A and B are shown apart, each in its own frame.
Chain A
Amino acid sequence: MKQKYAITVDDLTVAYNYKPVLWDIDLAIPESVLMCIVGPNGAGKSTLIKAILGIIKPIAGTVSIFGKSYKQQRSLVAYVPQKGSVDWDFPTTALDVVMMGTYGSLGWIKRPGQKEKKASLEALEKVGMLPFKNRQISQLSGGQQQRIFLARALVQNASIYFMDEPFQGVDATTEKAIINILKELRKAGKTVVVVHHDLQTVPEYFDWVTFLNVKKIATGPVKDIFNDDNLTKTYGINYKVSVQE
Chain B
Amino acid sequence: MNSAQITIQIIVALVAVACAIPGTFLVLRKMSLISDAISHSILLGIVIGFFIVGDTSSPLLIVLAAFAGIVTVFLVEFIQKTGLVKEDTAIGLVFPALFSIGVILIAKNANDVHLDIDSVMVGDLSLAPFDPLLINCTEGIADSCINLGPKAIWVIGTILVITLVLLFAFFKELKVSTFDAGLAAALGFSPVIMHYGLMTVSSITIVGAFDAVGPILVVALMIAPAATAYLFTKDLKKMLVLACFFGVFSAISGYWLAHLLDASISGSMTTVLAILFLLVYEPIITSIVIGLATTTSVIFYQYYQQLLTETGFAQFALSEKISRVFAEFVLLDYVTIMLVGGVCAVLLIYILPKRGVIYGYYKVRQQKTEIMLLVFLLHIRNHTEESERHVKHLNEHINWQRLRSDSVVELALKNNMITVDNDIISLTEKGEEFTEKAIDYIITNKDTEIEEMKDDFFLFRG
Contacts and interface: CB of A to CB of B under 8 A. Distances in A.
Interface of A: 16-17, 50, 53-55, 71, 74, 77, 79, 81, 85-87, 90-93, 97, 100, 103-104, 106-109, 111-112, 117-118, 121-122, 125, 130-131, 136, 138, 152
B183 interface: yes
Given A79-B182, A93-B235, A74 B187 contact: yes
Nearest to B459: A121
Contacts of B230: 91
B185 A17 contact: no
Contact of A92 (B83, B169, B234, B457): B234
Closest 8 CB pairs of A and B: A121-B459, A17-B83, A104-B187, A131-B455, A136-B234, A55-B185, A53-B186, A79-B186
A104 B172 contact: no
B460 to A, nearest CB: 7
A90 B24 CA distance: 11
Contacts of A54: 185-186
Contacts of A118: 414, 459-460
A111 B168 CA distance: 10
B172 A91 contact: no
Interface string B163-201: 000000111110110111011011111000000000000
A16 B83 contact: yes
Given A85-B180, A103-B176, A122 B186 contact: no
Contact of B169 (A50, A71, A109): A109
B189 A108 contact: yes
A74 to B, nearest CB: 5
A90 B176 contact: no
Contact of A77 (B28, B169, B186): B186
Contacts of A112: 172
B169 to A, nearest CB: 5
A86 B180 contact: yes
**Most B Cβ at <10 Å: residue of A87, A103, A106, A117:** A103
A91 B179 CA distance: 9
Nearest to A95: B459
A97 B83 CA distance: 31
A103 B172 contact: yes
Contacts of A107: 188
B460 A91 contact: no
A130 B459 contact: yes
Given A118-B414, A121-B459, A131-B456, A100 B176 contact: yes
B233 interface: yes
A131 B459 CA distance: 9
Nearest to A16: B83
17 contacts: A17-B82, A50-B182, A74-B187, A79-B186, A90-B179, A91-B230, A91-B238, A92-B175, A92-B236, A93-B234, A93-B235, A103-B172, A106-B172, A111-B172, A118-B460, A122-B459, A152-B183
Nearest to A108: B173
A92 B233 CA distance: 9
A92 B81 contact: no
Contacts of B416: 122
